[in-house]
Structure 1
Amino acid sequence: MSEALAGLGLFGVGGFLCYLLCWVVRWAAPRVGLIDTPGGRKAHKAPTPLGGGVAIWCAFVLVLGLGTAWVALDLPMPRGVADYAEGSLLRVGQLWIIVGLATGMMLVGLVDDRFRIDWKPRLGLQVLAAVGLIAAGAQITLFGPFGWAPVRWAVTLLWVVGLTNSFNFLDNMDGLSAGVGLIVALLFVGAQIAVGALFVPAVLLVLAGALAGFLVHNSAPARLFMGDAGSNFLGFLLGALTVVGTFTRDNPDSDFSPFGALAPLLVMAVPLYDTISVILIRLREGRSPFQADRSHFSHRLVERGLTPPWAVRTIYLVTLAGGLGALLLHRLDGWGASVVASQTLCVLGVVAILELSRPKRSGESTDSPAPAPSTTTG
């Protein structure tokens, strides 16, 4: 019970602090030129402050710093929490390396929000940050032939850089990137608590709280955007925390299945689906994968008739539907894990089929055949 109350406290403090900091950012952002103006592919109706990512970062770092100092100074805490405090100090060094690298990504995004940076140096800096993460000992845990060190390094690099860009891609509608980030953070908390891990879930709860506080300002109609500073920070941090998080146990006497290591793939299915589909669309059209447009999952749902708020809610539900199975993987054998993974793939398959369907024209009968393609040229 004390652990649950401590977790709710971390979530609540992070959320309330971020909510307050967002008011500060909304006041300060226009005064330093952090404004996103409508026009072109941007559908919002009025100039909107950027910099919400700075509020998320600041709330997260402040709560994490206070918690670290509290444990280091051996200040009073609930008995159930105190039992884990000494062990958490063994991992705090690696945690702050991750926070430092994520802060670097936030600063790159902040400069991009203000002055615009070409995608090539941005991608190069993301790769350098991921290499720094690997050098600090944070690597994806794989089993079988995939446990070979170079394979682990390559997968970790692709995972962290991929998620950094995935959440940047998702930041295209009010409440979308932060809402999906909140959902996946809570799913990761559940998946890791299920195998007895508490340190990384505690960190994720602080992040989830900060995202919840930001969403008060970012839900439609948004009064504040997180900007690239927020999406870069969120994607890199979630990627790094899932790398160092515990989804299974290597103890041969443990009842936990090694297939729990697949939990991040299920939880991140929607961000990965959006990223891969957008890249394929842009490459097929002969454009750069990093050229911003309106080909994202959310935009395609709007083209099918949903309003932007309902498109965002739909993506929330698909994220949950695809990721809930991750909470069971630690108890499943190979057959059970295959069933759960197949269920997530089926959810994405249904989404893809619905996306490929032709939008019904106004006044068109639902049972009328599609018009034959015209052979007229010119």
Structure 2
Amino acid sequence: MVAVTVLPPLLVTLVSLYPVRRFADALGLVARPGGHSTHTNVTPLGGGIGIWLGIMFTFLSATVTLYLVRQNADLQSHLPSQSLVYLEGAWLRLGQLWSLLGAATVLVILGVTDDRRGGVNPFFRLAVEFAVAGYVVYGMGFGLTAFIGISWLTDFLSVVWIVALINSFNMLDNMDGLSGGVAAIISASMAIVMLTTPDPGTSRPQVFVAALLLVVCGALLGFLWHNFSPAKIFMGDGGSYLVGFLIAVAMLMATFASSDHEPRPHAMLAPLCAMAVPLYDMTTVLWIRIRQGRSPFVGDRSHFSHRLVELGLSRTQAVLTIYLVTGTCGLASVLLTHVGIVQAITVIGIVACMLLLVIILESTQWQNTQE
């Protein structure tokens, strides 16, 4: 399953980004040095177009294949009997899938427009993000449960969750290979969680959500071929909005609760563990900007990656360090869904200690930034 879901988007994204790079200037999708950016060369934007193509092509091919298999009994006879259950389940969820991809496409259009114009009004951008998130939560019915039992509160938190993740990946896209690599690690980690955490209703792995995450991961790996240092193309707002949105919604679609025989309510913290680095970066950057009396919507060089560089790391070392922290958090998210409460407290404690260590190491630089 992993190869079937990862390789097609990887190859489509990898190949499609060559013409995007070539015609980026004509499309008005270029990033020029200056401002708060640290890059020194004119670099194409539009990496999100390739990521979108990889994801859409894969799911379009899967939809056509699924239709043909359902119409052909001979083809079905050559498939393992257990796979037919998943095929029928996937067919029933195609409407949800394409509604979700349609909503994601709206965000890609918003992001690409932002890239071309050099900035869309931030309040309009947030309005569109909240509208799309509201459609997913209130129109499609995806949302947190969180064992709260208050529907209006969980719906509101679900909308905030989607908008927060969209912007966290957008803010993280500030160094070669950073946002794409972190998103790939998170997607892979959560896909493992889905494949190893049975749905309580069916007692089967959550293949649908895992497939969505693996397709996103594959598209990101194809993008990283072009984006890792030195970057030949940037993800752009179109890509970061798309990736953040799909990962956020995938986590809402997932079930983290275990069976009645082994209740693990702490498993609901797995998405927060997996997303620790993007959320940490977004929270600290907003805190620094607001504390300094600056607009939270105006970009700067106060991101986690920039602070690591200020501490003496090279840009590549900073990115790899953030990969390592993200990978550790991803492993913690996997463990949370398979251990009891005592072990879960230990795992969460390890993640908290790691983040506190980062905060301590950064504290000197934060003080310098605020002076």
1:147-296 aligned within 5 A: 147-195=149-197, 196-249=205-258, 251-253=259-261, 255=262, 257-296=264-303
Tell me the equivalent position of 2:201.
Answer: none
Correspondence 1:311 to 2:313: no
The alignment status of 1:66 with 2:61, answered yes or no, reads yes
CA offset at residue 172 of structure 1?
0.3
Alignment of 1:42-61 (within 5 A): 42-61=37-56
TM-score by length of 1: 0.89
Contact 2:310 2:365 in 1 (8 A): no
Equivalents in 2 of 1:358, 1:10: separation in Å?
A: 42
Partners of 2:192 and 2:325 in 1: CA distance? 18
Deviation at 1:332, TM superposition (A): 2.5
Q: Residue in 2 aligned with 1:139?
A: 143
Match of 2:88 in 1: 86
After superposition, give the CA deviation of every residue in 1:289-316 in whole Å (9 maximum; x if it has no partner): 1110000000000000111111000000
Residue 124 of structure 1: aligned partner: 127
Counterpart in the other structure of 2:34: 39
2:273/2:330 contact within 8 Å kept: yes
Quote the Cα distance in structure 1 between the aligned partners of 2:349 and 2:149: 24
Cα 1:73–1:16, aligned 2, differ >3 Å: closer, same or farther?
same
Whichever structure has more helix as a proportion of its residues is: 2
Tell me by how many angstroms 1:358 deviates. Answer: 5.5
Give the structure 1 partner of residue 200 of structure 2. none
Unpaired runs of 5+ in structure 2? 198-204, 367-371
Q: 1:93 to 1:358 in 2, by over 3 A?
A: closer
Q: Tell me the equivalent position of 1:28.
A: 23
Q: How far off its partner does 1:247 sit?
A: 2.2
Distance, in Å, in 2 between the alignment partners of 1:92 and 1:351 is: 42
Deviations 1:42-90 (A, max 9, x none): 1212111110101100110110111122112226474253331101122
Asked whether the 8 Å contact 2:66–2:87 carries over to 1, the reply is: yes
- Alpha-carbon distance change, 119 to 168 in structure 1, aligned in 2, over 3 angstroms: same
2: distance between equivalents of 1:15 and 1:188? 18
State the shift of 1:221 in Å. Answer: 0.4
CA RMSD of aligned residues (A): 1.5
Contact 1:259/1:332 (8 A) holds in 2: no
Amino acid in structure 2 at the alignment position of 1:204: L
Percent of aligned pairs with the same amino acid: 40
Q: Could you list the per-position Cα deviations for residues 145-169 of structure 1 after superposition, in whole angstroms to 9, with x for gaps in the alignment? A: x121012111101110000000000
TM-aligned CA deviation for residue 183 of structure 1? 0.2
Q: What TM-score, normalized to structure 2?
A: 0.91
TM-fit CA distance, 1:98: 1.5
- Which has the greater radius of gyration? 1
Q: How does 1:84-123 map to 2 (within 5 A)?
A: 84-115=86-117, 116-123=119-126
Runs of 5+ in structure 1 lacking a partner?
1-5, 360-378
Q: Tell me whether 335-344 or 49-58 shows the greater mean CA deviation.
A: 335-344
Q: Do the aligned residues in 2 keep the contact of 1:321 with 1:347 (CA within 8 Å)?
A: no
For the Cα contact (< 8 Å) 1:323–1:344, is it kept in 2? no
